[in-house]
């Protein structure tokens, strides 16, 4: 084999390796395309909101949590926090911290299959992520773009009963 043929082979192999690296870096191994839901809007604007409905199995109570962007100053976002039964208040956070309300970090979670769930936005195929600690667990159901449609906290009590708290994405301006 001459030097030109060897150089061509090396270049082709390098291009293939670089292509695979870019594919994996962009999430190509995640197959997000099979997940359902709408696209996440990443440009935050004044008036944007995220609202979750919280239900408890032990008393069937329902609460709401609404986070509304009041103002934006550079990277600082002032967010009006309104929760059922609580005094509303304003928190200041970064744009990324606001987005974590709807597209959370998966640090400490393990992928636990796929599940189709009913949501306020219709039936959506989600990836299920689980975090366990002792006998307690947290399950998150994420659709396309990592959007959190449902989060379940399951806590085992001393009497062996289960307390289950569910947060369902109820309304938002962050999906397009």
Please compute the mean of the pLDDT values over residues 144-172 and round it to a whole number: 90
- pLDDT over 70, % of the chain: 81
Cα–Cα separations (whole angstroms), residue 23 to 10, 34, 144: 20, 17, 17
Segment (H or E) for 134:
none
Q: Report pLDDT for 13.
A: 37
Q: Report pLDDT for 53.
A: 94
Please compute the mean of the pLDDT values over residues 91-116 and round it to a whole number: 92
Q: Report pLDDT for 159.
A: 83
């Amino acid at each position: 084999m001459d030097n030109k043929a060897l150089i061509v082979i090396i270049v082709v192999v390098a291009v293939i390796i670089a292509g695979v690296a870019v594919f994996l870096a962009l999430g190509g191994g995640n197959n997000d395309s099979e997940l359902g839901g709408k696209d996440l809007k990443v440009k935050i604007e004044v008036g944007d909101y995220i609202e979750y409905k919280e239900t408890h199995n032990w008393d069937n109570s329902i609460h709401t949590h609404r986070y509304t962007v009041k103002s934006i100053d550079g990277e600082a976002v002032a967010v009006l926090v309104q929760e059922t039964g609580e005094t509303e208040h304003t928190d200041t956070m970064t744009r990324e911290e606001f987005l974590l309300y709807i597209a959370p970090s998966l640090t400490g979670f393990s992928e636990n299959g796929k599940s189709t769930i009913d949501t306020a936005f219709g039936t959506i195929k989600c990836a299920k992520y689980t975090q366990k600690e002792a006998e307690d667990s947290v399950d998150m159901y994420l659709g396309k773009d990592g959007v959190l449609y449902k989060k379940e906290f399951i806590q085992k009590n001393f009497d062996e009963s289960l307390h289950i708290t569910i947060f369902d994405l109820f309304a938002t301006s962050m999906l397009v």
